Amino acid sequence: MPSFESEIIIHITRGPLVESVHRGHVAVVDTTGKVLQILGDPELVTYARSTAKLIQSIPVLESGAANAYKLNDREIAVLCASHSGEPFHVDAVHSILRKMGATDDQLQCGPHYPFNRAIANRMKETGIKPGRVHNNCSGKHTGMLILARHLGVSSTHYMDPAHPVQHAMLAAVADMCDTAVADVALGTDGCGVPVFGLPLSRLALAYARLGKPDGLPEPRAAACRRIMASIAGNPLYVAGTDRFDTRLIEVSQGRLIGKYGAEGVFLLSVPARGWGIAVKVEDGAERALYPAVLEALSQLGLLSADELAQLAEFRRPEQRNWAGTPVGFIEPVFRLRPRE
Q: How do beta strands 337-338 and 35-39 pair?
A: antiparallel
Tell me how long the chain is.
340
Establish if 2 belongs to a structural domain.
no
Please check whether residue 292 lies inside any domain of the structure. Answer: yes
Count of structural domains within the chain: 1
State the DSSP string of 189-232. Answer: -TTSSEEEEEEHHHHHHHHHHHH--TTSPTTHHHHHHHHHHHHH
Is-contact 149 100, C-beta < 8 A? yes
Is the pTM here over 0.85, yes or no?
yes
284 and 320 in contact (C-beta within 8 Å)? no
Each residue's pLDDT, cut to its tens digit, for the chain (340 residues) gives 445 799 999 999 999 999 999 999 999 999 999 999 999 999 999 999 999 999 999 999 999 999 999 999 999 999 999 999 999 999 999 999 999 999 999 999 999 999 999 999 999 999 999 999 999 999 999 999 999 999 999 999 999 999 999 999 999 999 999 999 999 999 999 999 999 999 999 999 999 999 999 999 999 999 999 999 999 999 999 999 999 999 999 999 999 999 999 999 999 999 999 999 999 999 999 999 999 999 999 999 999 999 999 999 999 999 999 999 999 999 999 999 998 7
CATH of the domain at 265: 3.40.710
CB–CB of 272/297 below 8 Å?
no
Residue 65 domain boundaries? 7-338
273 inside domain: yes
Please report whether residue 260 resides in a domain. Answer: yes
The reply to whether 1 falls in a domain is no
Interacting residues of 155 by C-beta distance below 8 A, sequence separation 6+: 106, 144, 145, 148, 149, 165
Is the residue at 67 inside a domain? yes
Question: Does the bond joining 219 to the residue before it have cis omega, within 30 degrees of 0?
Answer: yes
Side chain identity, residue 96: I
43 found inside a domain:
yes
Task: Report H helices in the chain.
Answer: 53-56, 58-62, 65-68, 73-79, 87-99, 117-125, 138-151, 164-176, 200-211, 220-233, 244-251, 286-299, 305-310, 312-315
Model pLDDT, residue 3: 56
- Cβ–Cβ contacts within 10 Å for residue 280, how many? 29
CA–CA distances in Å: residue 83 to residues 19, 134, 245: 33, 8, 10
